[in-house]
Structure 1
Amino acid sequence: MKIRDLPPMATLRAFEAASRLQSFTGAAEELFVTHGAVSQQVRALEAQLGVSLFVRKGKRVTNTEAGQRYARKIAAALQQLADASDEVAEQGRERRLVISTLPSFAARWLMPRIGSFIEAHPDIDLELRASTELVDLQREGVDVAIRHGSGHYPGLHVEKLMDEYYFAACSPNFNDGILPATPRELIESPLLHSSRDESWRAWLDRAGLHEVAEPTRGSRYFDSTYLLDAAIAGHGVALVRHTIALADIAEGRLVKLFDIEVPASFALFFVCTPSRLALPRVQLFRAWLLETMAAFQAEQQRIRLSAAQAGGDRRAAP
């Protein structure tokens, strides 16, 4: 077949996605088109080639033997096109470093520290994309992601940065400065909740309050930044992530209540595509991030010891 007679690119992409996902619906969602559009493109491709590429079984589809062979070759060809496009596009953006992470982590951890990286590497233009959505690094041109998750990201380079944990905290001025003296007193206070982070259940169990039902009353915030701001403003007691709250603890805007910490169900990871790992700008950022994370963990240990000492002093006070 001559190049001018090849099926349209949109048709080949629809076929590849449907073959990989074994679903027209999944392919439609991935390509942001309708189920009918994928089905129509596949029928047109089958008509052009004169062979059946899928066996339809209700809502599920599987490749025929010919479809399997064709899918392997089309996937390889499309990947070659993607790699070639990346190589050319890279020449035009070799100075730009694109980083993706959560808004709360960007605002509370990364932005207060990133200045040292910018000063050390003025030739690199930083682009920070903060979003709660899980981005496709390859498709969206992201160099590095700092992800909160399980670390299971198939096909990507993944390095664990640190574990995450939660603790209860509030403003030192909360309740006119009369802070809860025991965990049981704490649950009688206004509690603040996060729609995305851990619930209070694990903290209550760690505090020995197994019989206490999961609290449902109190304000709820989708973004952890707003949760922290509400706690700092004295609106109640929040269960906060240590990575974004320790600066507020160190500077006295928040007080850690009790020496009770709950491990998070996720950790922080450095993530990038294997092809971008070797890029000089990515290697420079990775080295800076690992060094800065190590310094943060040392600072974190100091703050934990200081908070434990302060808690002991409060308990010993008459």
Structure 2
Amino acid sequence: MLATPDGGGLAIGVAFRGSVMQLPIRSIWVFHAAARAGSISRAAEELSVTPSAVSQQIQALETQLGVSLMSRMGRRVVLTEAGERYFATITDEIERIAEATGLIRGYRSVTTLTVRATPTLSNKWLLPRLAGFMDAHPDLEIRLDGTNEPTDFKREVVDVEIRHGDGRWPGLFVEPMAEEAFLPACAPGHVPDGGVEPADLVAYRLIHSVKSQAQWSRWFGLAGVDTAERWRRVLFDRSHMAIDAAVSGMGIALESTLMMEKELATGRLVCPVADPPGVRLVTQWIVCPHDQLRQRKVRLFLDWLRAERDAWQQRHPGGMAA
């Protein structure tokens, strides 16, 4: 049976061993929106209702379930332990209901997958490949958020992040993206034909990525080169800017083969040293809350991402350029 409770939400009666259990669908939907947004006001804006209406629906659901699902912390809401379990359990079903409803109405159902990644990985590695994922999954709408700011998954609506760092983020699912090799790279013709020795690089303008985990001082140390205290240099806070600067002939960059893949493959960048010392690091990590691994859209994206990563590693064993 269908009933309309005082709160205005739709309830579905389900027979269970001779009794009827009311499912407050409206309240469940509102709770899901607030939990996903981490904010009563943001959920109200999304649902085109007032914040007080959102609070009333959540309170009605808590009364029916007999547990507290949310607590307020300033302007945002935080899920209780019971709320986290409930949100994780219902999320897939909410997405299925939304998809089925869209199909019945005659519209193509769209589920949004929000991916946050560093600007350089977004620009240099994800974008050239992303069309393949979208073609394979036309029911998914992709939002790519390119930033170095780490995600607060309890407050922000982000499904998966590819985060720059050391991989130490307790409480989250963390998987290494790939081992990268860092090499000197410059435009063809920037150094004499035949290349130069590592010690010769100090005579050139060196491009520095100030946030990179691989710096010139470390590379020169591995090469056994004592460098002057002051170099001719230009500094960027984004690796994709350093890569583009090297392509333009501004100087020699020390960058990752993962990020320079296209430029190396097309010959717009070359390594000026015949046998460079290897700096190998994992700097990019796949990150999300463990509960989000249950979502179909997240599983599809991670499966695709791993396949693309494995294909890259096969072409570049050890992270080195072919």
Provide the TM-score with structure 2 as the length reference. Answer: 0.65
Q: CA deviation at 1:217?
A: 3.0
* Offset, 1:302: 9.8
1:242 to 250, 257, 266: 257
RMSD over aligned CA atoms reads 2.9
- Counterpart-to-counterpart distance in 1, 2:204 and 2:195: 8
Give aligned pairs, total: 233
1:111 partner letter: L
Q: Structure 1 stretches of 5 or more lacking a match?
A: 1-30, 32-72, 307-318
| Identity, % of aligned positions | 30
Deviation, 1:185, is: 1.4
Any conservation in 1 of the 2:117–2:145 contact (CA below 8 Å)? yes
Which residue is 1:111 aligned to? 127
AA aligned opposite 1:188:
A
* Equivalent pair of 2:186/2:270 in contact (CA under 8 Å): yes
Quote the offset at 1:242 in angstroms: 1.5
Q: Distance in 1 between matches of 2:229 and 2:265?
A: 30
Output aligned runs, 1:251-266, within 5 Å: 251-258=266-273, 259-263=275-279, 266=282
Quote how far apart the aligned CAs of 1:265 are: 5.5
Q: Does 1:78 align with 2:80?
A: yes
**Which letter maps to 2:127?**
M
Which residue is equivalent to 1:218? 233
Cα deviation per residue 1:117-136 (whole Å; 9 max; x = unaligned)?
11100101111111011111
Q: How does 1:183-198 map to 2 (within 5 A)?
A: 183-197=198-212, 198=214
Query: How far apart in 2 are the matches of 1:84 and 1:303?
Result: 42
Matching residue of 2:29: none
SS at match of 2:316: helix
For residues 255 and 214 of structure 1, the distance between their equivalents in structure 2, rounded to whole angstroms, comes to: 27
Check 1:257–1:215 CA distance in 2 against 1; reply closer, same or farther (3 A cut): farther
Contact 1:172 1:179 in 2 (8 A): no
CA 1:132 to 1:214, structure 2 compared with 1: closer, same or farther past 3 Å? Answer: farther
1:129 paired to 2:145: yes
Does the aligned pair in 1 maintain the 2:219–2:279 contact within 8 Å? Answer: no
Question: Quick check: 1:168 aligned with 2:170?
Answer: no
Tell me the TM-score normalised to structure 1 length. 0.65
Alignment partner of 2:157: what SS? Answer: coil
CA 1:263–1:151 in structure 2 vs 1: closer, same or farther (change >3 Å)? Answer: same
1:89-129: CA deviations, max 9, x gaps?
Answer: 95469811111110000000010011111110010111111
SS of equivalent residue, structure 1 residue 119: helix
Q: Which residue of 2 aligns with 1:232?
A: 247
**Are the structure 2 counterparts of residues 88 and 110 from structure 1 closer, same or farther at C-alpha, using a change threshold of 3 Å?**
closer
Q: Counterpart of 1:78 in structure 2: which amino acid?
A: T
Query: Alpha carbons of 1:116 and 1:77: their partners in 2 closer, same or farther (altered >3 Å)?
Result: closer
Equivalent of 1:146 in 146, 162, 166: 162
Preserved CA contact (<8 Å) 2:181 2:319: no
The question of whether the paired residues in 2 share the 8 Å contact of 1:206 and 1:260 is answered with: no
Distance 1:74 1:126, change over 3 A: closer
